[in-house]
Amino acid sequence: MIKIRSLLILLFCLFVQFNTSAQSYFKYPHNPVIDTLNTTNPNEFWTRWKTDPCVIHWGNDSLRMYYGTNNYGVQTQIGTAVSLDGNNWVEKTDYPVLNTGPAGSWDELDVETPGVIYVLSNPDSMKYMLYYSASQHDTTILDTLNQGLYPIEIYQIGLAYSSDGVNFTKYNDPTNDINPLYQNSDPVIRIPSTTGGMPDTINYLFSSVAEPSLFYDSITSTFKIWHIGLGCSNPNCSGVSDFRYRILYSESIDGINWSSPILALDIGNSGDFDSKLIYAPYVIKMGNEYWMFYGGNTYSSGTFPFFSQKIGLAISVDGINFTKIGNNPIITNGPNGSWDQLGTNYPSAIIYKDTLRVYYSGMQDSLFNFNPNIGYFYLDSNLTNDLLSENFNCCEIILFPNPSTNTIFIKSYSSLFDHIRIFNQSSNLLIEKSFMPTNLYQVNTSTLKNGIYIVNTFYKGENISTLKMIITENDKR
């Protein structure tokens, strides 16, 4: 018999799309979980500011966070930290996991906003794929004088690989090495023009692409990416007053060559919290839906006096066409004196401790304009008591619904798994999938006939469970 607790999780996963607007989110009461300016060692000053988190599962019930970090806003690089509970973090302070490029390269000024995925089917040296935003001066990228039409920095999206999630190597296409900009590494998503011509304003890729969120669909072996494009509100762009951020979507088979971007989410209407800026998307698969957490602003300027960033949520069934929920924003600035009083932005969502956590950057007054820290908020549900309690340690692995028709979910309560195999009663292997370590995985079973099947789950090659699955549907052939 499924325990009452397991049943609650089952219902949450299956029916979350029906009550999204009714859900409430609460900030973790002991935020921030990673502080800024907490080092007095000059060799670690590069870690003073921490922002733009990306959190992934790491080992058995641990988390790893990647984030942009710098010394009072100077030359952002990417750092990392690990945690056994998601609340207390141990930072890596000896050197960044990703550095800026050499002088003259396309990523000379900053590397930031990491988006990390784990692809088990990749070669060992490429298991971890870190996508990032990187910048260079507009006059260098566009080979033209800045006449006030472009921002000072141009952002493009790069990729780095790693076998261990710590030591990364940037992607480099040797055919471009003749160009000093791309001699050491190459962006995988560029602005449309790098030869001094007018970039594409129709597709909103006027002068920057940045802030990647990644998802690998193991069922279709497809990479999906959501990112911002800085463009104009109309094809006849007249300058900075017309600049707009939009969230775009592309697909790829190899994670390097991407389809032409299409619009996934636009700025809001006048009076909405995201009427001027929409940015920093993070997409997570929740049952049959894609949930996009994103930042929004009512000011087109991001300068200190105008900070009003808040976090909203949009839902999609196909990952392309998103609809904002009715009670946005879901998270707003904290009160005066709080760690996030100036703004909340750059969300990163993950299922952990049996609920949905969203890590995010918050900003606070300081002597040096502002300083960012990292905390999280969580989804209010029947399961949230377990978020703050470390006492629950059930060792079940279940699948549901069972019997099933076209889709099953596999849920683990105590450990991660990264591989499944489905056999029929004659021990013939019918479905095999590898994916980033997780505790909740969705499987398409529409190709299976009516009958009884065996589902094995694995973690790092070790079989951790054997489950029985029943497929039944009257019109299956």
pLDDT of residue 206: 62
pLDDT in tens, 7-21: 333 333 333 343 555
Give the domain ranges of the chain: 21-387, 397-471
DSSP string, 297-313: ES-S--SGGG---EEEE
pLDDT of residue 365: 65
CA–CA dist 226, 295 (Å, integer): 13
From residue 306, give the alpha-carbon distance in Å to each of 277, 299, 303, 418.
12, 6, 6, 44
Q: Where residue 386 falls among pLDDT bands split at 50, 70, 90?
A: very low
In this structure, the number of other CB atoms found within 10 A of the CB of residue 119 comes to: 20
pLDDT of residue 151: 60
- Of 367 and 363, the structure prediction assigns the larger pLDDT to 363
pLDDT over 80 (residue 52): yes
pLDDT of residue 63: 94
Share of the chain above pLDDT 90, in %: 44
Q: Among 123-127, 176-180, 206-210, 229-233, which is the least confidently predicted range?
A: 229-233
Q: What is the mean pLDDT of residues 353-365?
A: 85
pLDDT in tens, 202-213: 455 567 899 999
pLDDT over 50 (residue 121): yes
CA–CA dist 37, 364 (Å, integer): 12
- Strand residues in 233-368 grouped as ranges (E): 243-252, 262-265, 277-286, 289-297, 310-316, 323-324, 343-352, 355-366
pLDDT in tens, 237-277: 666 667 778 899 999 999 999 998 889 999 999 889 998 88
Q: What is the DSSP letter of 238?
A: -
Q: Is 430 helix (H, G, I), strand (E, B) or coil?
A: strand
Q: Where residue 396 falls among pLDDT bands split at 50, 70, 90?
A: low
Residue 59: exposed, middle, or buried by beta-carbon count in 10 A (0-12, 13-18, 19+)? middle
In this structure, the number of other CB atoms found within 10 A of the CB of residue 280 comes to: 26
CA–CA dist 343, 352 (Å, integer): 25
Q: What is the mean pLDDT of residues 9-37?
A: 65
Q: What is the mean pLDDT of residues 122-128?
A: 93
CA–CA dist 372, 48 (Å, integer): 9
Contact 113, 101 (CB under 8 A): no
pLDDT in tens, 459-469: 888 888 888 88
Domain at 397-471, CATH homologous superfamily: Macroglobulin (MG2) domain (2.60.40.1930)
Beta bridge pairs of residue 331 = 311
Q: Identity (one letter) of the amino acid at 155?
A: Y
Q: What mean pLDDT, rounded, does the chain reach?
A: 81
Residue 176: exposed, middle, or buried by beta-carbon count in 10 A (0-12, 13-18, 19+)? middle
Torsion from C-alpha of 392, 90, 52, 103, nearest 10 degrees:
-150
pLDDT over 90 (residue 53): yes
- Of 382 and 72, the structure prediction assigns the larger pLDDT to 72
Q: Where residue 71 falls among pLDDT bands split at 50, 70, 90?
A: confident
pLDDT of residue 414: 63
Q: Is 315 helix (H, G, I), strand (E, B) or coil?
A: strand
Q: What is the mean pLDDT of residues 88-117?
A: 95
Return all residues near 180 (Cβ < 8 A) that are at least 6 apart: 104, 105
Return all residues near 461 (Cβ < 8 A) that are at least 6 apart: 419
CA–CA dist 281, 302 (Å, integer): 17
pLDDT over 90 (residue 153): no
Residue 214: exposed, middle, or buried by beta-carbon count in 10 A (0-12, 13-18, 19+)? buried
pLDDT of residue 193: 54
What CATH code would you report for 21-387?
Answer: 2.115.10.20
Q: What is the mean pLDDT of residues 466-474?
A: 76
pLDDT in tens, 273-311: 998 889 999 999 887 789 999 999 886 544 444 457 899
Q: What are phi and psi of 176, to 5 degrees?
A: -100, 5
pLDDT of residue 235: 65
